[in-house]
Amino acid sequence: MTSTRAVGAALTSLVLAGTATLAGCSAQGTTGTAGESDGVTVLASFYPLQYVAQQIGGDLVTVDNLTPPAAEPHDLELSPAQVREVGTADLVVYLSGFQNAVDEAVEARAPEHVVDAADAAELVEHAEEEGHEGETEEEHAEHADEHGATDPHFWLDPSRLAAVGQAVADELAATDPEHADEYAAGALRLGQRLDELDQEMADGLAACQGATLVTSHTAFGYLADRYALEQVGITELDPEVEPSPARLREIGDLVEERGVKTLYSETLVSPKVTETLASDLGVDTAVLDPLEGLSEEATAAGDDYVSVMQANLAALEEGLVCE
Ligand SMILES: [Zn+2]
Protein backbone atom coordinates (compact mmCIF):
# COMPACT_ATOMS: atom_id res chain seq x y z
CA MET A 1 0.00 0.00 0.00
CA THR A 2 2.68 2.47 1.05
CA SER A 3 4.79 1.73 -1.99
CA THR A 4 1.80 2.09 -4.33
CA ARG A 5 1.06 5.52 -2.85
CA ALA A 6 4.67 6.63 -3.21
CA VAL A 7 4.76 5.56 -6.83
CA GLY A 8 1.44 7.30 -7.37
CA ALA A 9 2.75 10.55 -5.94
CA ALA A 10 5.86 10.40 -8.10
CA LEU A 11 3.82 9.81 -11.24
CA THR A 12 1.41 12.56 -10.31
CA SER A 13 4.16 15.13 -10.08
CA LEU A 14 5.33 14.00 -13.50
CA VAL A 15 1.84 14.54 -14.84
CA LEU A 16 1.61 17.97 -13.25
CA ALA A 17 4.93 18.99 -14.73
CA GLY A 18 3.70 17.82 -18.12
CA THR A 19 0.44 19.74 -17.79
CA ALA A 20 2.22 22.95 -16.88
CA THR A 21 4.54 22.91 -19.87
CA LEU A 22 1.69 22.10 -22.20
CA ALA A 23 -0.70 24.83 -21.27
CA GLY A 24 1.08 27.41 -23.38
CA CYS A 25 1.09 25.59 -26.67
CA SER A 26 -2.03 23.47 -26.63
CA ALA A 27 -4.27 26.10 -28.21
CA GLN A 28 -2.20 26.46 -31.37
CA GLY A 29 -2.84 22.99 -32.67
CA THR A 30 -0.35 21.36 -34.99
CA THR A 31 -0.37 20.13 -38.52
CA GLY A 32 -0.64 16.41 -37.99
CA THR A 33 2.73 14.98 -37.14
CA ALA A 34 4.53 15.64 -33.90
CA GLY A 35 6.72 18.72 -33.81
CA GLU A 36 10.00 18.52 -31.90
CA SER A 37 9.04 21.22 -29.45
CA ASP A 38 5.52 20.53 -28.29
CA GLY A 39 5.27 16.81 -28.93
CA VAL A 40 2.07 15.05 -29.86
CA THR A 41 -1.12 16.94 -29.01
CA VAL A 42 -3.80 14.72 -27.54
CA LEU A 43 -7.35 15.84 -26.95
CA ALA A 44 -9.25 13.78 -24.39
CA SER A 45 -12.98 14.26 -23.89
CA PHE A 46 -13.07 13.83 -20.09
CA TYR A 47 -10.86 13.04 -17.12
CA PRO A 48 -10.18 9.27 -17.09
CA LEU A 49 -9.23 9.43 -20.77
CA GLN A 50 -6.97 12.41 -20.07
CA TYR A 51 -5.35 10.44 -17.25
CA VAL A 52 -4.67 7.47 -19.51
CA ALA A 53 -3.15 9.62 -22.26
CA GLN A 54 -0.92 11.46 -19.79
CA GLN A 55 0.27 8.28 -18.11
CA ILE A 56 1.13 6.63 -21.41
CA GLY A 57 2.50 9.62 -23.30
CA GLY A 58 4.38 11.28 -20.45
CA ASP A 59 6.64 14.07 -21.68
CA LEU A 60 6.10 13.08 -25.31
CA VAL A 61 2.53 14.37 -25.35
CA THR A 62 0.52 17.40 -24.33
CA VAL A 63 -2.97 16.45 -23.27
CA ASP A 64 -5.96 18.78 -23.31
CA ASN A 65 -9.31 17.88 -21.78
CA LEU A 66 -12.55 19.03 -23.47
CA THR A 67 -14.45 18.84 -20.16
CA PRO A 68 -13.37 21.60 -17.74
CA PRO A 69 -12.06 20.41 -14.35
CA ALA A 70 -14.92 19.71 -11.92
CA ALA A 71 -17.56 20.02 -14.65
CA GLU A 72 -20.06 17.25 -15.10
CA PRO A 73 -19.28 15.68 -18.50
CA HIS A 74 -22.67 14.17 -19.44
CA ASP A 75 -24.13 17.33 -20.92
CA LEU A 76 -20.93 18.92 -22.17
CA GLU A 77 -21.26 21.65 -24.78
CA LEU A 78 -18.30 22.63 -26.94
CA SER A 79 -17.19 26.10 -27.99
CA PRO A 80 -16.39 26.63 -31.69
CA ALA A 81 -12.69 26.75 -30.72
CA GLN A 82 -12.99 23.35 -29.04
CA VAL A 83 -14.72 21.90 -32.08
CA ARG A 84 -11.82 23.18 -34.21
CA GLU A 85 -9.36 21.62 -31.78
CA VAL A 86 -11.01 18.24 -32.41
CA GLY A 87 -9.88 18.67 -36.01
CA THR A 88 -6.35 19.86 -35.28
CA ALA A 89 -5.22 17.62 -32.39
CA ASP A 90 -2.86 14.83 -33.41
CA LEU A 91 -4.98 12.31 -31.52
CA VAL A 92 -8.52 12.49 -30.15
CA VAL A 93 -9.54 10.10 -27.35
CA TYR A 94 -13.26 10.02 -26.60
CA LEU A 95 -16.13 7.72 -25.67
CA SER A 96 -18.87 7.48 -28.27
CA GLY A 97 -22.42 7.60 -26.95
CA PHE A 98 -21.43 9.49 -23.79
CA GLN A 99 -21.12 13.14 -24.86
CA ASN A 100 -23.23 14.09 -27.87
CA ALA A 101 -21.34 17.28 -28.62
CA VAL A 102 -18.07 15.35 -28.86
CA ASP A 103 -19.62 12.67 -31.08
CA GLU A 104 -20.82 15.41 -33.43
CA ALA A 105 -17.46 17.21 -33.44
CA VAL A 106 -15.59 13.98 -34.23
CA GLU A 107 -17.98 13.28 -37.07
CA ALA A 108 -17.78 16.81 -38.45
CA ARG A 109 -14.00 17.22 -38.16
CA ALA A 110 -12.99 13.62 -38.90
CA PRO A 111 -9.62 13.74 -37.07
CA GLU A 112 -6.99 11.46 -38.57
CA HIS A 113 -6.14 9.61 -35.35
CA VAL A 114 -8.99 8.69 -33.03
CA VAL A 115 -9.48 6.25 -30.17
CA ASP A 116 -13.09 5.50 -29.31
CA ALA A 117 -12.82 4.05 -25.81
CA ALA A 118 -16.14 2.25 -26.35
CA ASP A 119 -14.35 -0.23 -28.63
CA ALA A 120 -11.70 -1.33 -26.13
CA ALA A 121 -13.80 -1.05 -22.96
CA GLU A 122 -16.44 -3.54 -24.14
CA LEU A 123 -19.42 -1.61 -22.83
CA VAL A 124 -22.39 -3.54 -21.49
CA GLU A 125 -25.92 -2.66 -20.38
CA HIS A 126 -26.70 -2.12 -16.75
CA ALA A 127 -30.46 -1.69 -17.00
CA GLU A 128 -32.67 -1.64 -13.96
CA GLU A 129 -34.39 -5.02 -13.91
CA GLU A 130 -37.79 -3.64 -13.09
CA GLY A 131 -37.74 -0.53 -15.28
CA HIS A 132 -39.42 2.64 -14.10
CA GLU A 133 -42.41 2.53 -11.84
CA GLY A 134 -45.61 2.72 -13.85
CA GLU A 135 -43.83 2.80 -17.16
CA THR A 136 -45.21 0.88 -20.13
CA GLU A 137 -42.98 -1.30 -22.30
CA GLU A 138 -43.13 1.34 -24.98
CA GLU A 139 -42.14 4.18 -22.65
CA HIS A 140 -39.30 2.09 -21.33
CA ALA A 141 -38.01 1.45 -24.85
CA GLU A 142 -38.15 5.19 -25.58
CA HIS A 143 -36.29 5.89 -22.39
CA ALA A 144 -33.54 3.43 -23.23
CA ASP A 145 -33.33 5.10 -26.61
CA GLU A 146 -32.81 8.56 -25.16
CA HIS A 147 -30.04 7.52 -22.82
CA GLY A 148 -28.35 4.96 -25.02
CA ALA A 149 -28.66 1.28 -24.20
CA THR A 150 -25.16 0.79 -22.81
CA ASP A 151 -23.64 2.05 -19.58
CA PRO A 152 -20.77 4.44 -20.38
CA HIS A 153 -19.03 4.44 -16.95
CA PHE A 154 -16.48 1.71 -17.78
CA TRP A 155 -13.53 3.50 -16.10
CA LEU A 156 -14.79 2.56 -12.63
CA ASP A 157 -13.51 -0.95 -13.42
CA PRO A 158 -9.69 -0.54 -13.52
CA SER A 159 -9.25 -3.55 -15.81
CA ARG A 160 -11.41 -1.94 -18.50
CA LEU A 161 -9.46 1.32 -18.22
CA ALA A 162 -6.25 -0.68 -18.77
CA ALA A 163 -7.72 -2.08 -21.99
CA VAL A 164 -8.41 1.45 -23.20
CA GLY A 165 -4.83 2.36 -22.24
CA GLN A 166 -3.54 -0.28 -24.63
CA ALA A 167 -5.68 1.14 -27.45
CA VAL A 168 -4.40 4.66 -26.72
CA ALA A 169 -0.78 3.42 -26.76
CA ASP A 170 -1.34 1.70 -30.10
CA GLU A 171 -2.82 4.83 -31.67
CA LEU A 172 -0.10 7.04 -30.19
CA ALA A 173 2.42 4.74 -31.85
CA ALA A 174 0.58 5.12 -35.16
CA THR A 175 0.56 8.91 -34.72
CA ASP A 176 4.22 9.13 -33.69
CA PRO A 177 5.98 5.90 -34.81
CA GLU A 178 9.42 7.16 -33.72
CA HIS A 179 8.37 6.75 -30.08
CA ALA A 180 6.38 3.53 -30.38
CA ASP A 181 8.57 1.76 -27.81
CA GLU A 182 8.00 4.47 -25.22
CA TYR A 183 4.24 4.30 -25.69
CA ALA A 184 4.26 0.52 -25.38
CA ALA A 185 6.29 0.83 -22.17
CA GLY A 186 3.84 3.46 -20.90
CA ALA A 187 0.91 1.15 -21.51
CA LEU A 188 2.69 -1.64 -19.67
CA ARG A 189 3.46 0.62 -16.70
CA LEU A 190 -0.12 1.88 -16.54
CA GLY A 191 -1.44 -1.66 -16.89
CA GLN A 192 0.62 -2.75 -13.89
CA ARG A 193 -0.61 0.13 -11.73
CA LEU A 194 -4.22 -0.54 -12.64
CA ASP A 195 -3.70 -4.23 -11.99
CA GLU A 196 -2.38 -3.45 -8.49
CA LEU A 197 -5.35 -1.20 -7.86
CA ASP A 198 -7.75 -3.88 -9.08
CA GLN A 199 -6.15 -6.40 -6.71
CA GLU A 200 -6.32 -3.96 -3.81
CA MET A 201 -10.03 -3.39 -4.46
CA ALA A 202 -10.77 -7.10 -4.87
CA ASP A 203 -9.02 -7.84 -1.56
CA GLY A 204 -10.70 -4.94 0.23
CA LEU A 205 -14.18 -5.83 -0.98
CA ALA A 206 -13.90 -9.62 -0.74
CA ALA A 207 -15.84 -9.59 2.54
CA CYS A 208 -18.60 -7.43 1.02
CA GLN A 209 -19.68 -9.73 -1.83
CA GLY A 210 -23.38 -9.42 -2.56
CA ALA A 211 -23.70 -6.18 -0.56
CA THR A 212 -26.20 -3.59 -1.84
CA LEU A 213 -24.57 -0.38 -3.02
CA VAL A 214 -27.08 2.49 -3.11
CA THR A 215 -25.70 5.33 -5.22
CA SER A 216 -27.19 8.58 -6.49
CA HIS A 217 -26.74 8.14 -10.25
CA THR A 218 -25.95 4.69 -11.56
CA ALA A 219 -22.30 5.29 -12.39
CA PHE A 220 -20.96 2.29 -10.51
CA GLY A 221 -22.35 -0.66 -12.47
CA TYR A 222 -18.95 -1.78 -13.77
CA LEU A 223 -17.39 -1.47 -10.31
CA ALA A 224 -20.30 -3.46 -8.85
CA ASP A 225 -19.89 -6.15 -11.53
CA ARG A 226 -16.17 -6.42 -10.97
CA TYR A 227 -16.34 -6.78 -7.18
CA ALA A 228 -19.67 -8.63 -6.86
CA LEU A 229 -21.76 -5.82 -5.37
CA GLU A 230 -25.34 -5.03 -6.28
CA GLN A 231 -25.82 -1.44 -7.38
CA VAL A 232 -29.14 0.31 -6.86
CA GLY A 233 -29.29 3.81 -8.31
CA ILE A 234 -31.56 6.44 -6.80
CA THR A 235 -31.61 8.20 -10.20
CA GLU A 236 -30.79 6.96 -13.66
CA LEU A 237 -27.56 6.86 -15.64
CA ASP A 238 -27.98 10.58 -16.26
CA PRO A 239 -27.46 12.48 -12.98
CA GLU A 240 -29.80 15.28 -14.12
CA VAL A 241 -32.88 13.06 -13.95
CA GLU A 242 -34.85 13.59 -10.71
CA PRO A 243 -36.16 10.47 -8.96
CA SER A 244 -39.94 10.14 -8.64
CA PRO A 245 -41.64 9.85 -5.23
CA ALA A 246 -42.48 6.25 -6.13
CA ARG A 247 -38.83 5.54 -6.81
CA LEU A 248 -37.83 7.07 -3.46
CA ARG A 249 -40.37 4.83 -1.66
CA GLU A 250 -38.96 1.82 -3.49
CA ILE A 251 -35.43 2.66 -2.35
CA GLY A 252 -36.69 3.18 1.22
CA ASP A 253 -38.29 -0.29 1.28
CA LEU A 254 -35.15 -1.86 -0.07
CA VAL A 255 -32.91 -0.11 2.47
CA GLU A 256 -35.08 -1.46 5.29
CA GLU A 257 -35.34 -4.97 3.88
CA ARG A 258 -31.62 -5.36 3.33
CA GLY A 259 -30.35 -3.45 6.34
CA VAL A 260 -28.42 -1.00 4.15
CA LYS A 261 -26.61 1.46 6.43
CA THR A 262 -25.20 4.00 3.97
CA LEU A 263 -26.50 5.89 0.93
CA TYR A 264 -23.74 7.12 -1.35
CA SER A 265 -23.84 10.55 -2.93
CA GLU A 266 -21.31 11.75 -5.46
CA THR A 267 -18.90 14.52 -6.16
CA LEU A 268 -20.09 16.83 -9.00
CA VAL A 269 -23.76 16.12 -8.27
CA SER A 270 -25.79 17.83 -5.54
CA PRO A 271 -26.08 15.48 -2.52
CA LYS A 272 -29.48 16.95 -1.56
CA VAL A 273 -31.74 14.09 -2.71
CA THR A 274 -29.50 11.47 -1.13
CA GLU A 275 -29.12 13.38 2.14
CA THR A 276 -32.85 14.00 2.50
CA LEU A 277 -33.65 10.36 1.82
CA ALA A 278 -30.96 9.14 4.22
CA SER A 279 -32.18 11.33 7.04
CA ASP A 280 -35.78 10.14 6.43
CA LEU A 281 -34.56 6.56 6.64
CA GLY A 282 -32.17 7.10 9.54
CA VAL A 283 -29.09 5.88 7.69
CA ASP A 284 -25.70 7.48 6.96
CA THR A 285 -24.41 9.11 3.80
CA ALA A 286 -20.94 8.89 2.34
CA VAL A 287 -19.41 10.25 -0.84
CA LEU A 288 -18.13 8.29 -3.82
CA ASP A 289 -16.29 9.93 -6.69
CA PRO A 290 -17.41 8.63 -10.10
CA LEU A 291 -14.27 10.20 -11.58
CA GLU A 292 -16.16 11.98 -14.33
CA GLY A 293 -13.92 14.95 -13.59
CA LEU A 294 -11.11 15.84 -11.22
CA SER A 295 -11.16 19.27 -9.61
CA GLU A 296 -8.14 21.55 -9.85
CA GLU A 297 -7.86 21.36 -6.05
CA ALA A 298 -7.70 17.57 -6.20
CA THR A 299 -5.09 17.69 -8.94
CA ALA A 300 -3.06 20.25 -7.01
CA ALA A 301 -3.28 18.04 -3.92
CA GLY A 302 -1.67 15.24 -5.91
CA ASP A 303 -4.80 13.17 -6.41
CA ASP A 304 -5.31 11.19 -9.57
CA TYR A 305 -7.40 8.29 -10.83
CA VAL A 306 -5.66 5.73 -8.61
CA SER A 307 -5.74 7.71 -5.36
CA VAL A 308 -9.41 8.66 -5.88
CA MET A 309 -10.28 5.00 -6.48
CA GLN A 310 -8.45 4.13 -3.26
CA ALA A 311 -10.56 6.73 -1.44
CA ASN A 312 -13.68 5.17 -3.01
CA LEU A 313 -12.52 1.78 -1.75
CA ALA A 314 -12.14 3.12 1.80
CA ALA A 315 -15.64 4.67 1.65
CA LEU A 316 -17.09 1.36 0.43
CA GLU A 317 -15.34 -0.71 3.11
CA GLU A 318 -16.64 1.70 5.73
CA GLY A 319 -20.23 2.01 4.54
CA LEU A 320 -21.23 -1.30 2.96
CA VAL A 321 -22.58 -4.18 4.99
CA CYS A 322 -19.59 -6.55 4.96
CA GLU A 323 -18.76 -9.68 6.92
ZN1 LIG B 1 -22.25 9.51 -15.21
Give me the residue spans of the domains in the chain. 2-194, 202-319
| Euclidean distance between CA atoms 122 and 131, whole angstroms | 23
Is the model more confident about 38 or about 220?
Answer: 220
E strand or H helix at 62: strand 61-65
- The torsion defined by the Cα of 38, 44, 49 and 51, in degrees rounded to 10, comes to 40
Distance 288 CA to ligand 1 centre (A): 12
Cβ–Cβ under 8 Å, residues 64 and 47: no
Distance 24 CA to ligand 1 centre (A): 31
pLDDT at 232: 93
Please give the CATH topology (third level) of the domain spanning 202-319. Answer: Rossmann fold (3.40.50)
Please give the CATH topology (third level) of the domain spanning 2-194. Answer: Rossmann fold (3.40.50)
The partner residues of 285 in beta bridges, in order of sequence, read 263
The overall average pLDDT reported for the chain is 85
What average pLDDT score do residues 29-48 get?
A: 72
Distance 192 CA to ligand 1 centre (A): 26
Give the amino acid at 83: V
pLDDT at 146: 45
Closest CA to 229 of 281, 280, 156, 179: 156
Distance 239 CA to ligand 1 centre (A): 6
Distance 224 CA to ligand 1 centre (A): 15
| Euclidean distance between CA atoms 124 and 303, whole angstroms | 29
The SS3 call for residue 273 is helix
pLDDT of 15 > 70? The answer is: no
The SS3 call for residue 44 is strand
Distance 151 CA to ligand 1 centre (A): 9
Give the pLDDT band of residue 70 (cuts 50, 70, 90): confident
Distance 3 CA to ligand 1 centre (A): 31
Distance 96 CA to ligand 1 centre (A): 14
Q: What is the pLDDT of residues 225-281, one digit of tens each?
A: 999 999 999 876 666 678 888 999 999 999 999 999 999 998 877 888 899 999 999
Assess whether the region 2-194 and the region 202-319 belong to the same CATH fold: yes
What's the CA angle centered on 249, arms 137 and 321, to 5 degrees? Answer: 105
Q: Note the pTM of the prediction, 2 decimals.
A: 0.82
Distance 31 CA to ligand 1 centre (A): 34
